[in-house]
């Protein structure tokens, strides 16, 4: 169960008007979770169509016509004590604020959005729509465990000419998810010749339009049996930048962990930031710098991608210009596994959260 349109009934909605933000929680039409499970597919689809239609949001605007919008992705994780906690929503709120500024919108207050995220998860938990902790998830280090995916996004006021949003909405919806990548698909990646972002562009913003090319590249890669597409830089076509929706890391044969340095073509990933901290605390040398695909093909011994949806997902190989580089024996490497297990353990409450990353409702 990756992303679905089975959205939770409680939605967070904020609106900028008359030079200030106002926000509220909206309860969309719903039954009890058990009653919804027992609905026929047709009846459930009808209910979901109603739930996914937020009244008052205009069809024709700068977002729907020109992709002038940005969004976030964060997760809430069931805990062994029956509670549920959200992973670093403060960081998501900061990035959303910066993305909105980058698109010349009035930017929502960081604390306001963070609280809105927490409040909407709390209301959906009270209504019984969030998953509960299962002990058996520990058997495979939570790789198939359930979580709540939270999607805050901006939505523009009515508009059809080329323009910017000056009275935007911020909406936050959520749904239950488990694994992101397709089960049974080998974790191979293909270096694409498409370009994700260019210098001076919006690559650093979690912007709607940034995802068009990555989606096309990923779908093309999947048709050829690959799980992921990897992008190189737009200028020299030699430096690794990102995956289709995730940051990327490489462990080299000298033990160093390398990830592309941030800039205007790289998204500042929150999971990326967290993994860097974890690796350093494990005594691993971490470098944020340019890394060429040739260096990866020559010296890489482990590779993995990171993101809210992906978590820490290892790559068994990367194929570039027809040559496949297999990392190790094609299985998850020692460091990749340790980082994956530690991050998941913190998120699901079985490893101490000494960083105060997990926020209670």
Predicted confidence (pLDDT) per residue in 163-189, tens digit: 999 999 999 999 999 876 555 568 999
Distance (Å, whole) CA 21 – CA 134: 39
Judgement on whether residues 81 and 202 belong to the same structural domain of the protein = no
pLDDT beyond 80 at 86: yes
**Per-residue confidence (pLDDT) for residue 1, from 0 to 100:** 45
User: 276 in a domain, yes or no?
Assistant: yes
CATH number for 333: 3.20.10.10
d(Cα 169, Cα 13) in Å, to the nearest integer?
Answer: 7
- Is 268 within 8 Å of 262 (Cβ atoms)? yes
Assigned domain for 55 exists: yes
Active-site residue, from 15, 125, 206, 359:
206
Question: Given 177, 199, 232, which residue is the final one in a domain?
Answer: 177
The verdict on 83 and 225 lying in the same domain is no
Give the number of residues written for the chain.
361
Query: What pLDDT is recorded for position 182?
Result: 58
Domain boundary among 147, 177, 207: 177
DSSP 140: G
The residue range of the domain holding 46 is 10-177
Residues 207, 234, single domain; the answer is yes
Q: Does one domain contain both 89 and 200?
A: no
Pair 222, 165 in one domain = no
Residue 3 has pLDDT above 80, yes or no: no
> Within this chain, do residues 241 and 330 fall inside the same structural domain, yes or no?
yes
Q: How much is the average pLDDT of 335-340?
A: 97
Percent of all residues in the chain with a pLDDT value above 70, rounded to a whole number:
97
Secondary-structure breakdown of the chain: helix, strand, coil percentages, each rounded to the nearest 5 = 30, 25, 45
- Let me know if residue 235 belongs to a domain: yes
Phi, psi of 17 (to 5 degrees): -155, 145
* Whole-angstrom distance, CA of residue 61 vs CA of residue 163: 10
The answer to the question of residue 57 being in a domain is: yes
Q: 114-135: per-residue pLDDT in tens?
A: 999 999 999 999 999 999 999 9
Domain count, the chain: 2
Q: Please indicate, yes or no, if residue 361 is contained in any of the structural domains.
A: no
Whether residue 356 is contained in a domain is answered as no
Residue with tokens 């019984």: 128
Same domain membership, residue 310 and residue 242: yes
Instruction: Indicate which CATH number applies to the domain containing 74.
Output: 3.30.470.10
Residue 107, CA atoms < 13 Å, CB-side half-sphere? 15
Per-residue pLDDT band for 290 (boundaries 50, 70, 90) equals very high
* 233, 336: one domain: yes
Main-chain phi, psi angles of 235, to 5 degrees: -90, -55
Determine, yes or no, domain membership for 182: no
Based on the fold, state whether residues 123 and 255 are members of the same structural domain.
no
Residues 200 and 131 occupy one common structural domain: no
Mean of all residue pLDDT scores within the chain = 95
Domain boundary among 157, 177, 197: 177
Residues 56, 117, single domain; the answer is: yes
17 is a catalytic site residue: no
Q: Looking at the domain assignment, is residue 94 inside a domain?
A: yes
For the entire predicted model, the pTM comes to 0.95
Claim to verify: residue 129 and residue 235 sit in the same structural domain: no
Provide DSSP, 70-81: BB--EEEEE-TT
């Amino acid at each position: 169960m990756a992303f679905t349109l089975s959205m939770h009934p409680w939605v967070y909605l904020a609106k900028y008007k008359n030079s200030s933000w106002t926000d509220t929680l909206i309860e969309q039409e719903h039954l009890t979770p058990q009653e919804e499970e027992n609905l026929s597919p047709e009846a459930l689809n009808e209910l979901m169509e109603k739930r996914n239609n937020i009244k008052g949001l205009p069809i024709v605007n700068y977002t729907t016509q020109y992709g002038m919008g940005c969004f976030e992705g964060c997760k809430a994780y069931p805990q062994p004590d029956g509670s549920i906690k959200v992973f670093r929503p403060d960081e998501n709120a900061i990035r959303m604020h910066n993305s909105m500024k980058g698109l010349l919108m009035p930017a929502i207050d960081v604390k306001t959005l963070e609280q809105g995220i927490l409040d909407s998860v709390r209301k959906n938990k009270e209504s019984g729509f969030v998953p509960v902790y299962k002990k058996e998830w520990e058997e495979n280090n939570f790789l198939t465990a359930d979580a709540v995916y939270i999607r805050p996004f901006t939505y523009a006021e009515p508009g059809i000419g080329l323009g910017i949003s000056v009275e935007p909405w911020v909406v936050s919806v959520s749904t239950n998810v488990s694994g992101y990548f397709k089960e049974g698909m080998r974790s191979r990646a293909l270096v694409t010749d498409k370009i994700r972002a260019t210098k001076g562009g919006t690559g650093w913003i979690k912007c709607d339009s940034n995802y068009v090319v990555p989606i096309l590249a990923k779908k093309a890669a999947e048709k050829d049996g690959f799980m992921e597409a990897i992008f190189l830089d737009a200028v020299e076509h030699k430096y690794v930048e990102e995956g289709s929706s995730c940051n990327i890391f490489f462990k080299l044969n000298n033990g160093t962990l390398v990830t592309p340095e941030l800039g205007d073509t790289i998204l500042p990933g929150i999971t990326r930031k967290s993994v860097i901290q974890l690796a350093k605390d494990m005594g691993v040398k971490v470098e944020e710098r340019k890394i060429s695909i040739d260096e990866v093909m020559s010296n890489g011994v482990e590779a993995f991608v990171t993101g809210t949806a992906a978590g820490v997902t290892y790559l068994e190989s990367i194929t570039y210009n027809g040559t496949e580089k297999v990392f190790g024996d094609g299985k998850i490497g020692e460091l990749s596994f340790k980082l994956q297990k530690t991050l998941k353990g913190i998120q699901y409450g079985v490893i101490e959260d000494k960083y105060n990353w997990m926020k209670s409702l």
